[in-house]
């Protein structure tokens, strides 16, 4: 069975304090790994799709990387508006989500 584990469950950062979120996965036949951002009471907002080990994608303060077993979402110099739940999902036969990492950035 495909599985996704995200860590940490919650992360508190000071504004400007860079860090990384982890997504470990097991999947038979990876067809894509996805990162989403979800704000309270809203649907997930698409951030990145990664397809193969070694691939990297960047968008503003966020950078996603992928290996054969895990993905990292690096946040450089975060701002309070980056506060949200970050969801990782893998596509094997279907899209399976991790439980998410709740990020709080304090000014």
Partner 1 sequence: GAVVSQHPSRVICKSGTSVKIECRSLDFQATTMFWYRQFPKKSLMLMATSNEGSKATYEQGVEKDKFLINHASLTLSTLTVTSAHPEDSSFYICSARRLSGQETQYFGPGTRLLVL
- What residue ranges bind partner 1 (CB under 8 A)? 31-32, 34, 36, 41-46, 49, 51, 87, 91, 94-100
State the minimum distance, in angstroms, from the CB of residue 77 to partner 1: 27
Tell me the closest approach of the beta carbon of residue 24 to partner 1, in angstroms: 15
Give the nearest distance from C-beta 27 to partner 1 in angstroms: 12
Token output for 27: 């999947």
> Which lies closer to partner 1 via its Cβ, residue 5 or residue 18?
5
- Nearest partner of 33 among 76, 96, 99, 75, judged by Cα: 96
Q: Among residues 9 and 107, whose Cβ is nearest to partner 1?
A: 9
Q: How far is 7 from 10, CA to CA, in rounded Å?
A: 8
| Residue 12 main-chain phi, psi, to 5 deg | -110, 125
CB nearer to partner 1: give 3 or 20: 3
Burial (0-12, 13-18, 19+ Cβ within 10 Å), 24: middle
């Amino acid at each position: 069975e495909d599985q996704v584990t995200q860590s940490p469950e919650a992360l508190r950062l000071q504004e400007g304090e860079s860090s990384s979120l982890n997504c470990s996965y097991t999947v038979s036949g990876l067809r894509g790994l996805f990162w989403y951002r979800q704000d309270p009471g809203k649907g997930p907002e698409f951030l990145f799709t990664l397809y193969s080990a070694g691939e990297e994608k960047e968008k503003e303060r966020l950078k996603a990387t992928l290996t054969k077993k895990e993905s990292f979402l690096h946040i450089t110099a975060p701002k309070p508006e980056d506060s949200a739940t970050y969801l990782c999902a893998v596509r094997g036969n279907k899209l399976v989500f991790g439980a998410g990492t709740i990020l709080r950035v304090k000014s």
